[in-house]
Amino acid sequence: MDTGELKVRLGQILAEEECDSAIDWQSIERQSNALLGELQMPIPLIVEEYLRGAGRRQQDMVFGHAQRGQLLLYLRSKSEPLL
């Protein structure tokens, strides 16, 4: 999986999490775990933390907001961040 595809998949998960209706946390965890299982390349720390952090984001709105903001910065970046 290349960086472009990774960003698309992360964007899909993020969009589901930021929808206006009730958040389906089980779906987000399922998608996150599936993506983690498919990754064979080194990934930035924020990506790994985001994919593993659905439960904490569900429980802690402040943490969730901050983590989604950091992921959004990664998704908008044009260059590869340092791991």
> What is the tens place of the pLDDT at every residue in 38-50?
998 789 999 999 9
Cβ 14 vs Cβ 72: under 8 Å = yes
| Paired tokens of 47 | 């990506």
pLDDT at 1: 84
With a threshold of 0.75, does the pTM exceed it? yes
> What burial class does residue 7 get, using C-beta atoms within 10 Å of its C-beta: 0-12 exposed, 13-18 middle, 19+ buried?
middle
* Domains of the chain by residue range: 3-76
Mean pLDDT of 7-15: 96
Q: Are 10 and 50 in contact (CB under 8 A)?
A: yes
